[in-house]
């Protein structure tokens, strides 16, 4: 059975043993990873107007840059990120009120993290990365 601590240890290894550097890389590569290819993918799968009052979640939100992009695109949306790597969370800046970050391990059974039927769009960046590398 996984635990928050074992996932954090796994992620630190996955991030090359230097979490601070990994967080920096995530910040630096944000633009590149959310380029016009990503935008086209998003537009193909997500149909939301700029005034949508919806709830979008970013599973593994890192330092929260994508949540901030979403806030610009959908200023009326409620936005929630989930993250458990402390060095990523350390890089989260002050965020607008519409953005909330939950510290949780997505490997765990988390029945109370989101109420049933409360989420309109869920994003998991790793899924996108697999998609583009094929």
Ligand X SMILES: C[S@@+](CC[C@H](N)C(=O)[O-])C[C@H]1O[C@@H](n2cnc3c(N)ncnc32)[C@H](O)[C@@H]1O
What is the smallest separation between the CB atom of 80 and ligand X, expressed in angstroms? 12
The residues pairing with 103 across neighbouring beta strands, listed in sequence order, are 83
The two beta strands, 99-103 and 121-123, are unpaired
Residue 51 or residue 88: which is nearer to ligand X going by CB? Answer: 88
Of the ranges 41-49, 57-65, 93-101, 114-122, which one interacts with ligand X (CB under 6 A)?
A: 57-65
Of the ranges 42-50, 55-63, 92-100, 113-121, which one interacts with ligand X (CB under 6 A)?
A: 55-63
Q: Does 70 bind ligand X (CB under 6 A)?
A: no
Cite the DSSP H helix spans in 57-120.
65-73, 86-89
Q: Which of 70, 85, 92, 101 is the binder for ligand X (CB under 6 A)? A: 85
SS (H, E, C) 92-122: CCCCCCCEEEEECCCCCCCCCCCCCCCCCEE
What DSSP character marks residue 73? H
Kindly list the residues in this chain that would bind ligand X in the complex (CB under 6 A): 7, 11, 26, 30, 58, 60-62, 65-66, 82-85, 88, 105-107, 125
């Amino acid at each position: 059975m996984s635990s928050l601590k074992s996932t954090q240890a796994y992620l630190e290894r996955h991030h090359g043993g230097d979490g601070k550097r990994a967080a920096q890389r995530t910040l630096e590569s944000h633009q590149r990873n959310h380029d016009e290819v990503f935008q086209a993918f998003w537009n193909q799968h997500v149909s939301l107007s700029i005034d949508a009052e919806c709830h979008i979640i970013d599973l593994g939100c890192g330092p929260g840059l994508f949540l901030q992009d979403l806030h610009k695109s959908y200023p009326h949306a409620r936005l929630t990120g989930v993250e458990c790597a402390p060095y990523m969370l350390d890089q989260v800046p002050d965020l607008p009120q519409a953005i909330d970050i939950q510290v949780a391990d997505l490997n765990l059974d988390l029945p109370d993290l989101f109420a049933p039927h409360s989420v309109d769009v869920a994003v998991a960046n790793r899924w996108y990365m697999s998609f583009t590398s094929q």
